[in-house]
Amino acid sequence: MYKFRCDIKKIVTVLLFLVLILSAVFSIAFTRESGSFSAYEGDEICAEFLINSENSTAVLDYAMAPFRVQKPQAFNAAAGEEELSFENRYTDEFAGMFIDSDGILNIAMTYSHIRAQGLTRSSMQSFNNSVRYQAFTYSFNHLLEIHSVINSLMQTEYGIFSSGIRENYNIVRITLRNESLVTLVRNTLKDSGLYSTTSLYFDIDPDGESKPQSIDEVDEYERPQSRNAVFGGDDIFESGYRGTVTINATCNVTGRHGIVTAFHVTNGLGNRVHNGTTWMGTSERGQIAVIDSAFVPYEVQGIWGHTPNIRRGPITGVKAGTTTFTNVRTGGENHIVVGQSVSQIGGTTGITNGTITERVGSANVNFGALGGVVYFNNIIRSSYSSAGGDSGGPVVANIGADRFFIGQHFASGGTAARAPEIARILNVTFITNDFSTQAPVQSSAPSFSKHSTGLNHNICGKRPFGTAEQAICKFECFEPNR
């Protein structure tokens, strides 16, 4: 009997050893060692990374085709379309995707799929070395299920600050106030049959709550008179609050032009804002829910220059005009990839760089008197730094020579609203360097030749607020989606 037990132990030991060897073989078969460079050299973005990420982005649709059940939502989704969802988007063998430190797209598959299909690195298409493959334990769909359960908890348990899928680590990361909430999450996942220690990372941080990043400042401007062009990245003021302009935009229904910024920066709807020298307009459409964004149409449509460019703010002082991005383009879901190099342009910190850490994230953000704790889903989380006054700042993906507008910073922890969701909910088209190639979403909008050649076009004309025609325009453009 003793000899039999010893034999069993030897057999088990050998089997475990074989499992480890097989796992190592599969890992070797689907990964390549990174090169010596990374996304950043000091504060500068590595040129090699930019080139590689451009090549990888160009082939992303082709490389991901076998793993997609349905295509990503179109960028300029018509107002009223359903909110972006990642459910039923990918096949069960897909385990995630990310840009590595070399700028190369990595696509992960589950170990079980690789073993069942007998796949090797040489059997997978590398798209001229623009794609690498990884073997992971958990499918993306499994991690999404875990994330969804945590999202449900977050809407009643505000001490669960954030949750997000870290695709490069094949885990769900959760930030919480204390250990008791960790126990709650574990028990809830166990009840759902989704709990496993290796799929979760708990970050206990009593100070980890996301907070909006406008800043209280005394309004020293009484009735400014001069008029200027407004850039994304410039300062914007409402009473005692300062934030950052996101980008210029046009309403898809009326053709009125204005700017997008964070909703909480405008301190709610119906408030007049200015850029430090000139009254700009009144916030007439916004939301704190899926996004924290507002559209402010210019009061006088005929005198504003509408630039597609973004510059380092603030408008005045030593940081004025230090850097202007003249290569800003409209970004979409293919540009929102974990590991992608991004820059946030804020009125306080200027340009801060980082990488996307979560393209599928959620957070409870405490707006205090403006709205209390608000739950956000489908946000982007990144590693750039920020400070009070940066809310509203544009977030761009650095790919090749272009800067793709992908989000709007609105809270600490590198928290940004998705640009496609902002466009959908506010029903606007962003004015970027490919503005002339974007067709209006609504057929009732003015002809696009007027949009691209005469950016000051206003279907209603300049009339005092309250007149019948002006009221119609406001209703068409700014009423909530139905």
| More confidently predicted of 125 and 226 | 125
* pLDDT surpasses 80 at 452: no
Q: Which residue has the tokens 């500068």?
A: 44
Which of 12, 378, 379, 23 shows the shortest CA–CA distance to 198?
Answer: 23
Q: How far apart are CA 250 and CA 296, in angstroms?
A: 10
Q: How many CA atoms lie within 13 A of 382 on its CB side?
A: 30
251 band by pLDDT with thresholds 50, 70 and 90: confident
300-321 confidence digits (pLDDT tens): 887 777 789 998 754 444 445 5
216 band by pLDDT with thresholds 50, 70 and 90: low
9-42 confidence digits (pLDDT tens): 555 455 445 544 444 444 444 544 344 446 776 6
Of the spans 230-239, 257-266, 282-291, 452-461, which averages the highest pLDDT?
257-266
pLDDT of residue 126: 92
- 328-336: average pLDDT: 95
Which of 331, 214, 85 shows the shortest CA–CA distance to 341?
Answer: 331
| More confidently predicted of 358 and 371 | 358
* pLDDT surpasses 90 at 398: yes
Buried b / exposed e over 226-257, threshold 16 CB at 10 Å, is: ebbebbbbbbbbbeebbbbbbbbbbbbbbbbb
Task: List the single range of 12-26, 149-163, 405-419 with lowest mean pLDDT.
Answer: 12-26
pLDDT of residue 11: 54
Interhelix angle 179-191/140-154, nearest 10 degrees:
120
Burial class (CB in 10 A: 0-12, 13-18, 19+), 222: exposed
* pLDDT surpasses 90 at 427: yes
97-119 confidence digits (pLDDT tens): 999 999 999 999 999 999 999 98
pLDDT of residue 268: 82
* pLDDT surpasses 60 at 465: no
| Average confidence score pLDDT of the chain | 79
pLDDT of residue 19: 43
Peptide bond into 314 cis (omega under 30): yes
* pLDDT surpasses 50 at 250: yes
| More confidently predicted of 7 and 442 | 7
Q: Measured between alpha carbons, how far is residue 22 from residues 15, 25, 170, 249, 450 in Å?
A: 10, 5, 19, 54, 63
pLDDT of residue 447: 29
Q: How far apart are CA 329 and CA 400, in angstroms?
A: 12
- 48-76: average pLDDT: 83
440 band by pLDDT with thresholds 50, 70 and 90: very low
Q: How far apart are CA 357 and CA 478, in angstroms?
A: 33
| More confidently predicted of 248 and 10 | 248
pLDDT of residue 40: 74
* pLDDT surpasses 70 at 361: yes
Which of 330, 349, 137 shows the shortest CA–CA distance to 247?
Answer: 330
pLDDT of residue 468: 30
Q: How far apart are CA 307 and CA 336, in angstroms?
A: 24
pLDDT of residue 277: 77
- 340-363: average pLDDT: 94
Buried b / exposed e over 363-400, threshold 16 CB at 10 Å, is: bbbbbeeebebbbbbbbbbbebebebbbbbbbbbbbbb
Q: Which residue has the tokens 């958990």?
A: 138
Q: How far apart are CA 141 and CA 369, in angstroms?
A: 37
Q: How far apart are CA 276 and CA 234, in angstroms?
A: 10
Which of 315, 286, 276, 283 shows the shortest CA–CA distance to 299?
Answer: 283
165-210 confidence digits (pLDDT tens): 999 999 999 999 999 999 999 999 999 999 999 999 999 999 988 8
Q: How many CB atoms lie within 10 A of CB 126?
A: 15
* pLDDT surpasses 70 at 254: yes
Dihedral sign of CA atoms 351, 354, 357, 363 in order:
negative
Q: What is the three-state SS of the chain?
A: CHHHHHHHHHHHHHHHHHHHHHHHHHHHHCCCCCCCCCCEECCEECHHHHHHHHHHHHHHHHHHHHHECCCCCCCCCCCCCCCCCCCCCECCCEEEEEECCCCCEEEEEEHHHHHHHCCCHHHCCCCCCCEEEEEECCCHHHHHHHHHHHHHHHCCCCCEEEEEEECCCCEEEEEECCHHHHHHHHHHHHHCCCCCHHHEEEEECCCCCECECCEECCCCCCCCCCCCCEEECCEEEECCEEEEEEEEEEECCCCCEEEEECHHHHCCCCCEEECCCCEEEECCEEEECCCEEEEEEECCCCCCCEEEEEECCCCCCCCCCCCEECCEEECCHHHCCCCCEEEEEECCCEEEEEEEEEEEEEEEEECHHHCCEEEEEEEEEECCCCCCCCCCCEEEEEECCEEEEEEEEEECCCEEEEHHHHHHHHCEEECCCCHHHCCCCCCCCCCHHHHHHCCCCCCCCCCCCCCHHHHHHHHHHHCCCC
37 Rama sector, left if φ>0, alpha if ψ -120 to 50, beta otherwise: beta
pLDDT of residue 91: 95
Buried b / exposed e over 172-197, threshold 16 CB at 10 Å, is: bbbbbbeeebbeebeebbeeeebbee
392 band by pLDDT with thresholds 50, 70 and 90: very high
Q: Which residue has the tokens 């057929």?
A: 443
| More confidently predicted of 243 and 82 | 243
pLDDT of residue 36: 40
pLDDT of residue 462: 28
| More confidently predicted of 134 and 287 | 134
CB 363 within 8 A of CB 297: no
pLDDT of residue 215: 64
Residues ≥6 apart with Cβ < 8 Å to 482? 80
